[in-house]
């Protein structure tokens, strides 16, 4: 899967600099198609599904020049990954920093630049914190609203099944 992603990144860089990559693609498409349909039983089911999904996306990129979009929320902002290179960069940062990505992104200018986010926003003034009673009442109201909405959906399902 990493090799397929590396091929897609290499193809992106070749396509940007050189316009004649058709011979490269013609040799590569049969193997990518084979990997997109692979079903060897000696690997775990989850790994097979991940491989097929990854190589389907890569094959679609080589055939139709279409990169599957990836939008990830980082704090209150979102990162749009529109190229294989940006997807790989985000994946490496997310794997390295883990949960720290969410905590560091609003404050670290270098990380924001690597993710393609705008400059560091001005610090926001903290809002008035609700006391414990108001938080409790708000949570109860939200729970009741969820319960009512769930009940309405159940009623619709049972009515549809009765027909």
Q: Residue ranges per domain, the chain? A: 2-64, 70-115, 125-163
At which residue do the structure tokens 């040799």 appear? Answer: 27
d(CA 132, CA 45): 47
Residues 6+ apart with CB under 8 A from 93: 101, 111, 114, 115
With cut-offs at 50, 70 and 90, classify the pLDDT of residue 120: low
Q: Is the pLDDT of residue 116 over 70?
A: yes
Cα dihedral angle (142, 148, 154, 158), rounded to 10 degrees?
A: 180
94 burial via Cβ count (<10 Å: 0-12, 13-18, 19+): middle
**Is the pTM of the predicted complex or chain greater than 0.85?**
no
């Amino acid at each position: 899967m990493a090799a397929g992603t590396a091929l897609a990144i290499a193809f992106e860089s070749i396509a940007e600099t050189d316009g004649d990559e058709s011979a490269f693609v013609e040799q590569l498409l049969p193997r990518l198609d084979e990997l997109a349909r692979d079903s060897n039983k000696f690997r775990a089911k989850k790994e097979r599904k991940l491989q097929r999904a990854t190589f389907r996306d890569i094959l679609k990129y080589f055939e139709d020049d279409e990169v599957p979009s990836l939008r990830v929320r980082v704090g209150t902002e979102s990162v749009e990954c529109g190229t294989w290179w940006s997807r790989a960069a985000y994946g490496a940062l997310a794997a390295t920093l883990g949960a720290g990505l969410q905590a560091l992104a609003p404050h670290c200018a270098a990380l924001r630049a690597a993710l393609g986010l705008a400059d560091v926003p001005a610090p926001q003034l903290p809002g008035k914190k609700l006391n414990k009673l108001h938080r409790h009442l708000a949570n109860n109201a939200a729970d009741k609203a969820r319960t009512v909405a769930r009940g309405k959906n159940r009623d619709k399902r049972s009515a549809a099944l009765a027909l």
